Amino acid sequence: MRFRIRYSKQGLMKFIGHLDMMRYFQKALRQAGVEVSFTEGMSPHMSMSYAFPLGVGMTSDSEYVDVDLDIPLSSRELVGRLNRAAAEGVHFLDARVVEPGKANKGMNLVRRADYTLYFREGYEWEDGWKEDFAGWLDQESIMVLKKSKKTEKEVNIRPLIYAFDLNPDMRCVRGICDETAEEGADPTASDYDAPGDLFLALSAGSENNIRPELVMEAYASASGRAFSPYSFQINRDEVYTKSGDHFIPLIKLGKQL
């Protein structure tokens, strides 16, 4: 039975890279005594897949991994067991059964991701930037040179910015009002003790993926403001798929058991 597990990754865990996170997760499952199915073949490995790798340095309230379990557990039992084995900074929030058709393969489900950005100390922009930023977004087209390992191309990022909020309310964007969170779960066990400086909802997935840093670098460059890769501490708030016209969090494709 395939379970989708949602967890937060905060604190020191933000320095743990994606591959190490996958290795950690396997150990956590073993420590928790959860019996995961193994693949067939010459070198059997745990049957699991990740939705959307998180960059080193970013925190998240909503990470997703799908695992196949030999012996199904209730959602509550699975989350409870995993939390007892969890590393500091990792908090398991929910586990739901997903139909094979809605199973995740790589990034195929991902359409949108929400981020909250915080200025790192010493990198703040002077007052007034928010109005200016809103004005910058009030254009139909914002062309940005997007570089990948092989290619460089001009992309209009404006349609890929779905929403923004210059005064994000911490409680709602940070997932606390998400009724899906397991009772007693504490997504505020994080680095953040104040609302962020900016909220962005961006296109994500294998096509049209844009990183929040790309948006901020483009704005900084257009407005003549200083930008460094360390300017912002970024939190990923939620990852969505699309169903009809609606974006829905990946966890909601599943049913609690």
Q: Which residues of this protein are in contact with other proteins, per CB under 8 A?
A: 11-13, 15-17, 20-21, 23-24, 26-33, 38, 42-44, 56-57, 85, 87-89, 118, 120-121, 191-193, 229-230, 233
Complex with other proteins: residue 87 or 176, whichever CB lies closer? 87
Q: Which is nearer to other proteins, 35 or 99 (CB)?
A: 35
CA distance 113 to 213: 13
Burial classification of residue 24, based on how many CB atoms lie within 10 Å of its CB (0-12 exposed, 13-18 middle, 19 or more buried):
middle
Specify which residues 95 forms β-bridges with: 5
Q: How far is the CB of 82 from other proteins (least distance, A)?
A: 11
**Closer residue to other proteins, CB minimum distance, 26 or 208:** 26
Q: What is the DSSP annotation of 212-226?
A: HHHHHHHHHHHHT--
Closest CB 38 distance from other proteins, rounded Å: 6
Q: Closest approach of Cβ 160 to other proteins, in Å?
A: 25
Residues 44 and 24: beta-carbon distance below 8 Å = no
* 49 to 39, 156, 218: CA distances (angstroms): 12, 31, 33
Q: Please, what is the minimum distance in Å from the beta carbon of residue 236 to other proteins?
A: 16
Measured from the CB atom, the residue of 98 and 117 that comes closer to other proteins is 117
Task: Report the distance separating Cα 228 and Cα 185, nearest Å.
Answer: 35
